Amino acid sequence: MATTELSDVIGDWVKSRRAAGVAPHDVLEALGLQVSQEAAVDESALWAMVALLVEEHRQRAQPRRRLATADGLTAVVDLVRRSERIMVVAGAGASASAGLPDFRVAAAASAHSESPDALFDVHHFVNDPKPLYALAAEMWTGKALPTPTHMFVRELERRGQLLRLYSENIDALELAAGIERRVLCHGWCASASCIACKAAVGAEALRAALAAGEESWPLRCAKCTHGLNLVKPDVACFGEPPPPEVERSLREDLKSADLLLFIGSDARVHPLAAVAPALPRDVPQLLVGRAPPPREPHEADALLLGECDEVVKWLSAELGWTLPPPPPAAAAAADAEHADGGAAAADPAGPAPAKVAAPAFHEPNKFVFASGSAEPPTESPRAQTPLAVPGPRHRAHGGRAAPRE
Which residues are identified as catalytic? 186
Select from 272, 200, 275 the least CA-distant residue to 232: 200
Which of 75, 108, 196, 374 is in the footprint of Zn ion by CB under 5 A? Answer: 196
In the complex, the smallest distance separating the C-beta of residue 229 from Zn ion, rounded to whole angstroms, is: 5
Element (H, E) at 262: strand 259-263
The interface with Zn ion within residues 246-265 (CB under 5 A) comprises none
Q: Which is nearer to Zn ion, 210 or 221 (by Cβ)?
A: 221
- Helical residues (DSSP H) of 62-166, grouped into ranges: 73-82, 103-109, 116-119, 122-127, 130-139, 148-158
Q: Which is nearer to Zn ion, 224 or 360 (by Cβ)?
A: 224
Contact 217, 125 (CB under 8 A): no
Q: Does 197 bind Zn ion (CB under 5 A)?
A: yes
Contact 219, 199 (CB under 8 A): no
Beta strands in 268-372 (DSSP E): 285-289, 302-305, 360-363, 366-368
> Which one of 24-32, 54-62, 166-174, 220-228 is the stretch in contact with Zn ion (CB under 5 A)?
220-228
Q: Which is nearer to Zn ion, 129 or 148 (by Cβ)?
A: 129
Which residues, at least 6 apart from 315, have a Cβ–Cβ distance to it below 8 Å?
Answer: 77, 80, 152, 304
Q: Which is nearer to Zn ion, 224 or 331 (by Cβ)?
A: 224
State whether residue 161 is helix, strand or coil.
Answer: coil
In the complex, the smallest distance separating the C-beta of residue 132 from Zn ion, rounded to whole angstroms, is: 17
Q: Does 329 bind Zn ion (CB under 5 A)?
A: no
Q: Which is nearer to Zn ion, 221 or 263 (by Cβ)?
A: 221
> Which one of 12-20, 84-92, 131-139, 190-198 is the stretch in contact with Zn ion (CB under 5 A)?
190-198
In the complex, the smallest distance separating the C-beta of residue 191 from Zn ion, rounded to whole angstroms, is: 14
Select from 175, 188, 167, 165 the least CA-distant residue to 253: 165
The interface with Zn ion within residues 223-242 (CB under 5 A) comprises 223-224
The interface with Zn ion within residues 140-169 (CB under 5 A) comprises none
Taking the CA of residue 1 as centre, how many other CA atoms within 13 Å lie in the half-sphere pointing to its CB?
A: 9
> Which one of 18-26, 215-223, 288-296, 372-380 is the stretch in contact with Zn ion (CB under 5 A)?
215-223
C-alpha–C-alpha distance, residues 327 and 346, integer Å: 6
> Which one of 40-48, 107-115, 213-221, 374-382 is the stretch in contact with Zn ion (CB under 5 A)?
213-221
In the complex, the smallest distance separating the C-beta of residue 193 from Zn ion, rounded to whole angstroms, is: 8
> Which one of 24-32, 183-191, 193-201, 316-324 is the stretch in contact with Zn ion (CB under 5 A)?
193-201
Total residues in contact with Zn ion, by rule CB under 5 A: 7
In the complex, the smallest distance separating the C-beta of residue 217 from Zn ion, rounded to whole angstroms, is: 17
> Which one of 16-24, 29-37, 80-88, 188-196 is the stretch in contact with Zn ion (CB under 5 A)?
188-196
In the complex, the smallest distance separating the C-beta of residue 192 from Zn ion, rounded to whole angstroms, is: 11
The region, left, alpha or beta by phi > 0 then psi within -120 to 50, assigned to residue 342 is left
Q: What share of the chain is helix, strand, coil (3-state, %, to 5)?
A: 40, 15, 45
Q: Does 77 bind Zn ion (CB under 5 A)?
A: no
Q: Which is nearer to Zn ion, 240 or 253 (by Cβ)?
A: 240
State whether residue 16 is helix, strand or coil.
Answer: helix
> Does residue 280 have a cis bond before it (omega within 30 degrees)?
no
Which of 176, 221, 269, 308 is in the footprint of Zn ion by CB under 5 A? Answer: 221
Q: Which is nearer to Zn ion, 190 or 230 (by Cβ)?
A: 230
Element (H, E) at 263: strand 259-263
**Partners of 21 in beta bridges:** none
User: What is the side-by-side order of every strand in the sheet holding 200-201?
Assistant: 200-201, 187-194, 231-235
Which of 41, 50, 194, 219 is in the footprint of Zn ion by CB under 5 A? Answer: 194
Q: Which is nearer to Zn ion, 200 or 370 (by Cβ)?
A: 200
In the complex, the smallest distance separating the C-beta of residue 133 from Zn ion, rounded to whole angstroms, is: 17
The interface with Zn ion within residues 267-306 (CB under 5 A) comprises none
Contact 186, 236 (CB under 8 A): yes
By the criterion CB under 5 A, which residues form the site for Zn ion? 194, 196-197, 199, 221, 223-224
